[in-house]
């Protein structure tokens, strides 16, 4: 994936993180999803005192994309000022469900790392939702 596109996603993820609700961890995280048809969706982490009621930034962005018709995810950027944040296991599976060729970029102000979903979830079965 072109660095110019990835940088745009990182910038949008950083902006989304500014809207995070994170009074418990004080760690704002933003995410941005690009679908195959060029649609872009953002999300931020939303914490709840009952930790099981909290949502990760990537989870929010993916759910927004799917609910709006963007079911083939091509790329995701995750941004956090406090350090690199990587997708959780359930976020990796959610990504794999909706895109077998997804590129993931984890970024901070001065550093970024790029992965494919195959690298992060190497033994996943084929998804049934991909077009």
Question: CATH code at 50?
Answer: 3.40.140.10
Q: What is the pLDDT of residue 127?
A: 56
Backbone angles phi, psi at 94, to 5 degrees: -65, -45
Residue 111 covered by a domain: yes
Residue 98 covered by a domain: yes
8-state DSSP, 51: G
Q: What is the pLDDT of residue 128?
A: 53
8-state DSSP, 91: H
The answer to whether 104 touches 115, Cβ cutoff 8 Å, is yes
Q: What is the pLDDT of residue 131?
A: 45
Q: List the strands of the sheet with 103-107, edge to edge.
A: 40-44, 30-35, 73-79, 103-107, 112-116
Residue 129 covered by a domain: no
Residue 49 covered by a domain: yes
Residue 126 covered by a domain: no
Residue 15 covered by a domain: yes
Mean pLDDT by 10 residues, the chain (131 residues): 92 98 97 96 96 92 94 95 94 90 95 94 68 45
| DSSP-assigned letters across all residues of 7-30 | HHHHHHHHHHHTT-B-TTT----E
Looking at the structure of the chain, the number of domains it has is 1
Domain range enclosing 93: 3-120
Q: How much is the pTM?
A: 0.91
Residue 40 covered by a domain: yes
The Cα–Cα gap between 15 and 78 comes to 11
């Amino acid at each position: 994936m072109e660095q110019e596109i990835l940088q745009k996603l990182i910038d949008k993820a950083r902006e989304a993180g500014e809207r995070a609700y994170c009074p418990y961890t004080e760690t704002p995280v933003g995410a941005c999803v690009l679908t195959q048809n060029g649609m872009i969706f953002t999300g931020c982490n939303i914490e709840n005192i009952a930790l099981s009621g909290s949502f990760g930034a990537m989870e929010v962005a993916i759910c927004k994309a799917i609910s709006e018709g963007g079911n083939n995810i091509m790329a995701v950027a995750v941004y956090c000022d406090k350090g690199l944040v990587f997708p959780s296991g359930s976020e990796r599976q959610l990504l794999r469900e909706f895109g077998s060729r997804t590129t993931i970029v984890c970024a901070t102000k001065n550093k970024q790392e790029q992965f494919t979903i195959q690298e992060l979830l190497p033994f996943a079965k084929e998804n049934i939702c991909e077009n």
